[in-house]
Amino acid sequence: MWIVILTTATTIILIAAGTIIFVKNKIRIRRALAAGGNSALPIELNWTKGLRHTITMYLAPVIILALPFVSGHKPTINDFFQAATIYLAINYLKMIYWK
């Protein structure tokens, strides 16, 4: 029963926070467009950022796949799909920032 409560609470928190942040981003975009441009801040894309991004991209799926071992289970096809999802999300972010 407590896992249902935990799942519901996690989902509600994520959806609420996501909605708030989405609205905030929309307001920022509208203000930036009104001010003339959409660029937010200049940053320096160097190889260290790329390296950290790549390490995260490959380490996060590994941790997700390894977590069942910690609690004494074996990974199933669901864990594989979870790892694949997060890998694809981070890869998409790499595409966003590095073109």
Per CB under 8 A, residues contacting another protein are 3, 6-7, 10-11, 14-15, 17-18, 21-22, 24-26, 28-29, 32, 38-49, 51-53, 55-56, 59-60, 63-64, 67-68, 71, 73, 76-79, 81-82, 85-86, 89-90, 92-93, 96-97
Q: Which is nearer to another protein, 36 or 46 (CB)?
A: 46
Cβ at position 16, least distance to another protein in Å: 9
Place of tokens 């096809």: 77
Cβ at position 36, least distance to another protein in Å: 13
| DSSP, res 69 | H
- Name the amino acid, one letter, at 60: A
CA gap 42, 39 in Å, rounded: 8
Cβ at position 54, least distance to another protein in Å: 10
Cβ contact 84:69 at 8 Å:
no
Instruction: Measure the CA dihedral 69/72/74/80, to 10°.
Output: -40
